[in-house]
Chains A and B, each alone.
Chain A
Amino acid sequence: MMQTQLQQGGSAPVISFDRVTLAFGDRTVINELSLDVAGGQIVCIIGPSGCGKTTALRMAGGLIRPNGGSVRLLGETLTAPRRDVAIVFQDYGKALLPWRTAAANVSLALEAAGVPRSERPARIRLLLAKVGLTGHEDKYPTEMSGGMQQRIQIARCLAQEPAVLLMDEPFGALDAMTRQGLQDEMLSIVAETGTTVFFVTHDLEEAVYLGDRVIGLLANPGRIGIDLSVDLPRPRNQLETREMPEFLRLRRQLFDFIEKAEG
């Protein structure tokens, strides 16, 4: 994985939307969307409801194919989901297998990738430790809190050793404290692995706090309305970063954008 990234260098985009158009019936959801995401970046997508941000993420994951244009991943046109692209769904309760323990849920990704049975336990232990679930290996998802369930899903996605992590409002259903904890954990994991992140959220502050870049979409049809680069120092800090003038300025700018987009 390191090698592919070195080969990619800084210039070639990891995800590339090229004049992507998508329609459901005669309703155009996304119109001529062009967007390049550079390797190792965290790009946050915001926008009013119905702007197609989740749809864009699903196209980047290969779950939906565009009607026009193309979505390319590491230079290859995407026609189906790929193992090196992991998706974290918002509804962790539905995305986990309730009959499998935390460890066995993570194992599913390893089984899919054909990792030999003997190698799985050690890797599962490592992955669960990474998301802070050591000691909870044998619990079933229904025995765990929402935050812990979402951690299982993140661990399962990390098991794919993804080059790209697609996150669809992953922390939207969690309470504020849990959400901040998971934001920081995600940032440190991503900083460690250099994974490219495509992060959909409706929380403007979250977008600025996490992102290297924040893209605001407009609705009907979905298209890019604003594209901000976030030059806040890393590692970020829940208190200090959020008090920086630059943070407040970007937040204000996005707030105005959303207000206008919805008005």
Chain B
Amino acid sequence: MNRSRFLWLIASFVTAAGLVWIWQVVADNRLVNPVFLPGPDRAWMALVRGFTTGDLDVKLLATVERMFWGWLVASLVGVALGAAIGTSPRLRAYLSPMLEFLRPLPASATIPVAIALLGLSDGMVLAVVAFGALWPVLLATVHGFSAVEPRLYEVGRALGLSRAAVIGKIALPSASPDILAGMRLGLTVALILSVVCEMIAGRDGLGTWILLAARSFRAPDLYAGVILLGLLGYATAVAIGLLEARLLVWRSRSR
């Protein structure tokens, strides 16, 4: 079991390394104009240069902060609102048509509205990121809470649990796998929207770094930014994965 997992891990790294190698060969043989496609070596050097002599670390941190705060607000609001809607069939009946209307709206389409209301500010970015990341969390939470085994509610009644205890000890843990899945999606949306907001509203961060590099034909810098975004997305996915493994031990330990 552990052995095969280890082999799979090696296989996936070999695949990744192979793709980087192909990229290097394509760049070295100038199959694509080097103005548009630098090799991984030049992209890597640009990345290192960005951190040592440039201010890429500051920009990375700015993007991470935007993503994190937006995601946190979305998660808190999403879980609270989702719990209220998911536990009340009446609220669900009232609100679901509106939720279904708002949900498919591309969050980036809300940026002009947000700019009109809040200006080109960090508050605007926070609002857009939080709004976009809210939906996956909210819908997953509603689903999680409405799918709680009815028998468990009866157990709660028979034991004389308070309403707060029923939510905290029965409904919330029961919905937690759904909630975590929603928060994982929300984090991806938050990263995308942070970068898009930076690009559109000119807030300093990885988004502007990439945009400016592209406009001045500094391809290695552009790729360095994209690589960094990829790494950031990967790191957040790993972090959520660890959180899930910790909170959902019971799911992996079945007979």
Contacts and interface: CB of A to CB of B under 8 A. Distances in A.
Chain B: interface secondary structure? helix
B159 interface: yes
A19 B128 CA distance: 63
Interface string B152-187: 101101111100010001100110100000000000
A144 B250 CA distance: 12
B169 A61 contact: no
Given A63-B154, A94-B149, A99-B173, A140 B159 contact: no
Contacts of B246: none
Nearest to A153: B155
A94 B151 contact: yes
Contact of B160 (A94, A98, A113): A113
Contacts, number: 67
Interface in A154-183: 156, 160
Given A89-B151, A142-B255, A98 B159 contact: no
Chain A: interface secondary structure? loop
Nearest to A82: B160
Interface in A61-95: 61, 63, 80-83, 85-87, 89, 91, 94-95
B253 interface: yes
A157 B253 CA distance: 25
Contact of A81 (B157, B165, B173, B250): B157
Contact of A142 (B149, B155, B174, B250): B250
A87 B158 contact: yes
A98 B158 contact: no
A86 B250 contact: no
Interface string A105-141: 0001101110000000000000000000000000010
Contacts of B248: 99
Given A91-B151, A108-B169, A83 B250 contact: no
A97 interface: yes
B151 A112 contact: no
Interface string B240-255: 0000000010110111
A143 B253 contact: yes
A111 B159 CA distance: 9
Contact of A140 (B160, B165, B169, B254): B254
A95 B157 CA distance: 12
A63 B160 CA distance: 11
B254 A142 contact: yes
Contact of A95 (B152, B250, B254): B152
Contacts of A82: 160
B152 A112 contact: no
Given A111-B165, A143-B255, A97 B158 contact: no
Nearest to A88: B158
Contact of A99 (B157, B158, B161, B250): B250
A98 B253 CA distance: 10
Nearest to A92: B151
B159 A95 contact: no
Which 8 residue pairs spanning A and B have beta carbons closest together?
Answer: A142-B254, A112-B159, A94-B151, A99-B250, A83-B160, A112-B161, A87-B158, A99-B173
Given A108-B155, A108-B169, A142-B254, 12 more contacts: A81-B157, A81-B160, A85-B158, A86-B158, A87-B158, A94-B151, A95-B154, A97-B152, A108-B159, A112-B159, A142-B250, A160-B159
